[in-house]
Amino acid sequence: MTYHALSDSELVAGYNEGIVECFTEIYNRYWAILYRHALRMLRDECASQDVVQETFHSLIRHGSIQDAIPLRLLLYTTVRNRIINDYRREKVREKYLATLRHYVSASECTEIQVRERELQRQIEMEISRLPERMRLTFELSRKQHCDYKTIAERTSTSTETVRKQIHNAIRILRTKLSYF
């Protein structure tokens, strides 16, 4: 028997009775047509092939085809609905990813800010623990941006002493804050 000569309704009836060759003929008859239809909508060859394959796969899963609806209309509608559903799923996925990116970005900023505040608190605490003259020299240098000569005049010491005190203060702070 040549299934190529059968009408769509005869192919549907044969497929519903379990004749595999009827499904094969439906597939051969409509695959290219449905592919072009999907390609016009998607403008993506791979996605179009996937949609058509999924359409035929869903027919196999259901095991039968409604004979009340013309086969061509059923297949076109199935392809169109698959494309629409895929589009909707993609939009939901994009929205979710955007929300997730925003959440991750916000939490990273918060974590960085917390770490910065903790580091700043630790630095201030370690500076306050420095010997009085060393602390004063260091604060004049780093917080008030005074040069060595100005600091030496204000503290009544030599510029070499100022340089050594700042050097020692930095060494001490590096040691105390090394775990950050």
pLDDT in tens, 2-21: 888 889 999 999 989 988 99
> Is residue 113 assigned to a domain?
no
Q: Is residue 115 part of a domain?
A: no
Closest CA to 135 of 95, 93, 173: 173
**Number of structural domains found in the chain:** 2
The answer to whether residues 79 and 135 belong to one domain is no
Rounded to the nearest 10 degrees, what angle do helices 20-42 and 71-128 cross at? 50
CATH of the domain at 61: 1.10.1740.10
> Closest Cα partner for 12 from 21, 20, 2, 22?
22
pTM (predicted TM-score)? 0.55
Nearest to 35 by CA among 18, 11, 59, 54: 54
Q: Which residue range is the domain that position 159 belongs to? A: 130-178
Do the domain assignments include residue 17? Answer: yes
**16-68 pLDDT, tens digit each:** 998 899 999 999 999 999 999 999 999 999 999 999 999 999 988 888 888 88
Whether 28 and 85 share a structural domain: yes
The reply to whether 19 falls in a domain is yes
